[in-house]
Amino acid sequence: MTRVALVTGGTRGIGAAIAVALKAAGHTVAATFAGNVEKAEAFRAETGIAVFQWDVADEAACAAGVARVAAEVGPVDVLVNNAGITRDGWFHKMDYQQWSAVLRTNLDSMFTMTRPVIEGMRERGFGRIVNISSINGQKGQLGQANYSAAKAGVIGFTKALALENARKGVTVNCICPGYIDTDMVAAVPEKVLEGIIGQIPVGRLGKAEEIGALTAYLASDAAAFMTGAVLTINGGQYIANG
């Protein structure tokens, strides 16, 4: 059955791989982006996936954006909360802007994006929400007190929302990727990257397509009995308690 899927931060990196995987699974996909129009248009031209620009930290923009997607593509059945930013720095030197920007984009967006779609999902008796957290939301990371706090919050949000909506046919799950071979990771200095890979038991970075495949499963009818799950996909770098 064809359903409408909306992926935030869906034109680059992990988000782009998720959007492509959902399209391959038969969904009608829309992807949001924040600022890089050139990349977004290239992605649209290459994949045929509709793209929409707004800031996921802006509540009014999200409400208007979701309404536009519903009007132009259809009501959202699958929501992937993937958009995120980093503003790294040691906490004792971090200013409030660095803290606030990351919390607003990475955690407040759980509200601003999910709130406009959740009532429709409940009314229709079907919904799939997949939230992208991080290995660093599970174990913490030096220089990422803001990012780790936000991504840990995503895990708590996932569990609470799953409980609230299970009886309405809406599942809510969370994926915690480790280090994935994207432009962001590629920008890390070579020596640092070698050190990161050395900590990964499988001996390589993850692939964005691997995150996309897992997301497509969670969005499928086959995953109807899975909700409130926190799934690690990090090559064994961090093995969370069951």
The residues that are catalytic are 147
* Residues 11, 49: Cα–Cα separation, whole Å: 9
Return the number of other C-beta atoms located less than 10 Å from residue 24's C-beta: 12
Return the number of other C-beta atoms located less than 10 Å from residue 73's C-beta: 16
Pairing of strands 50-53, 4-7: unpaired
Q: Are 154 and 106 in contact (CB under 8 A)?
A: yes
- What's the one-letter identity of residue 86? T
- What end-to-end distance do the CA atoms of the chain give, in Å? 33
What are the strands, taking DSSP E only, across the chain? 4-7, 28-33, 50-53, 78-81, 127-132, 170-177, 230-233
* Residues 80, 181: Cα–Cα separation, whole Å: 20
Which tokens belong to 33?
């982006």
Which among 174, 160, 177 has a CA at the least distance from the CA of 129?
Answer: 174
* Residues 170, 128: Cα–Cα separation, whole Å: 6
